Amino acid sequence: MEFTEQQREKLKQAKTLLTALGLPKAQCNDRSGWVFLALANIKPFDNWNNATAPLLPTVNIMEFIRNQYSMDYKPNSRETIRRQTLHQFEQARAIDRNRDDPARATNSKDNPLYTVNYPKPPATKRIIGLPQKKR
């Protein structure tokens, strides 16, 4: 699969953030980087200052990755993303599940919604090596 320079750079930055957050090597892979970008709502040309924390079900995470980064995970990848990325992100407190309704069951018809607990922009810039404003 061919990615643009901007897509590759954002993936690299996301993986650097995941490593800095202390996630195990298995969760600092490309799949986890794409998922983190979706959870922070960072598109290829976006600045990390514009990161947000939307509530997203797994299928919307996959849709974001496909639409913004041209990485097309097939529908049967949903469980892999949930089990091998989202669970570990949640255990590391990098994300919350059902922040809007903590009592919602994982198997609810409303689907679990994931949201990122991303670092504040200055910390993000420092971690990924972007220039910071002088004080």
- Domain coordinates in residue numbering, the chain: 5-128
Q: Give me the CATH topology for the region 5-128.
A: Arc Repressor Mutant, subunit A (1.10.10)
The C-alpha atoms of residue 107 and residue 21 are separated, in whole angstroms, by 28
Q: What is the percent of the chain where pLDDT is above 70?
A: 87
Scanning the structure block, which residue is given the tokens 């993986």? Answer: 15
Average pLDDT of the residues in 58-85: 94
State the number of CA atoms in the 13 A half-sphere of 127 facing the CB: 19
Residue 26 CA from chain centroid, whole number: 15
Whole-Å CA distances, 85 to 18, 61, 72:
11, 12, 16
Quickly state the pLDDT bin for 99 (edges 50, 70, 90). Answer: confident
Sign for the pseudo-dihedral over CA of 17, 13, 124, 66: negative
Q: Which residues pair with 115 in a beta bridge?
A: 96
